[in-house]
Amino acid sequence: MKLTDNTILITGGSNGIGLELAKQFLNLGNTVIITGRNQLRLDEVKKKYPAIQIFQSDAGKVEDIKSLYDNVIKQFPGLNVIINNAGIMRKMNLHDTSMDLDNINQEIAINLSGPVRLVNQFLPHLKTKKFAAIINVSSGIAFVPFAISPVYSATKAGLHFYTQTLRIQLKNTNVAVFELMPPLTTTDLQNAFSPEDMKGVVSMEVDKMVQIAIKGFGNNTLEIRPGQSNSLRIISRIAPKFILNQMSKPVDRLLAETK
């Protein structure tokens, strides 16, 4: 895809990977719009980077997606790229059934239903553009589940398959479909995890990960798997049981809590 003169909407752009994508795309000469739930955090980004446009919007809520569409299209009719980046990741002991039925579903609502709904809402508009792109941010975990984050793992595998089918169905259109599958990347997403949970996994710096991603978009690499994400894909095919065991190691400590 071309890397300049786009109008790009990034969900969850007030922190981590989304914010880094926003900064690097801005530097390349694009109009960048970000969303997030926390208005204070969005305001901080606006103060630091006045050229970035901000909209408070929850990717997990249907009404927010509809009003985001109305507001963004009205103010930025040139919008031609959407990046489904917003996501949460939780450690979850499935023996602990105290979480209510709405809460247990949050990762699905944000990480999986969010992108599916956003695409449905914006696709007719994207099809009116000469060039358009949808970029879904999944994870290397789409290839092998991380057993202490069961629902998160399910959302990323689901988003991976959804993205593949979306690409096939849009093959005769002007809308390119990219998938960014980050490896462990140094952001606040890791705060819920201990160093023990992530033992043996190398965390990539966010600016480096996003540089690789943007280079990939520019080269029209449709599935971008930086660093250990590519290793996970290969090992999951050669030695699926081995890698599943490796990724399941932190679960013993988690299960000990229920004893």
Ligand X SMILES: NC(=O)c1ccc[n+]([C@@H]2O[C@H](COP(=O)([O-])OP(=O)(O)OC[C@H]3O[C@@H](n4cnc5c(N)ncnc54)[C@H](OP(=O)(O)O)[C@@H]3O)[C@@H](O)[C@H]2O)c1
**Nearest distance from residue 119's CB to ligand X, in Å?**
15
Site string for ligand X, 153-172 (x = CB under 6 A): --------------------
Residue with smaller CB distance to ligand X, 133 or 141: 141
Work out whether 59 is an interface residue with ligand X (CB under 6 A).
yes
Residue 49 is a catalytic residue: no
**Token duo for residue 55:** 């909209």
**Nearest distance from residue 172's CB to ligand X, in Å?**
29
Work out whether 63 is an interface residue with ligand X (CB under 6 A).
no
Number of chain residues interacting with ligand X (CB under 6 A): 30
Considering only residues 111 to 150 of the shown chain, the ones binding ligand X according to CB under 6 A are: 111, 137, 139
Work out whether 45 is an interface residue with ligand X (CB under 6 A).
no
Considering only residues 2 to 21 of the shown chain, the ones binding ligand X according to CB under 6 A are: 11-12, 14-18
**Nearest distance from residue 156's CB to ligand X, in Å?**
7
Q: Which amino acid is at 76?
A: F
**Token duo for residue 112:** 């999986």
* Cβ pair 135, 178 in contact under 8 A: yes
Residue with smaller CB distance to ligand X, 43 or 252: 43
Secondary structure (H, E, C), 158-202: HHHHHHHHHHHHCCCCCEEEEEECCCCECCHHHHHCCCCCCCCCC
* Cβ pair 59, 13 in contact under 8 A: no
Residue with smaller CB distance to ligand X, 94 or 198: 198
Residue with smaller CB distance to ligand X, 201 or 255: 201
**Nearest distance from residue 233's CB to ligand X, in Å?**
13
User: How many other CB atoms sit within 10 Å of the CB of residue 124?
Assistant: 8
In whole angstroms, how far apart are CA 110 and each of 69, 118, 122, 124, 162? 17, 11, 17, 22, 15
Considering only residues 64 to 103 of the shown chain, the ones binding ligand X according to CB under 6 A are: 85-89
Active site residues: 152
Site residues (vs ligand X, CB under 6 A): 11-12, 14-18, 35-38, 41, 58-60, 85-89, 110-111, 137, 139, 182, 184-185, 187-189
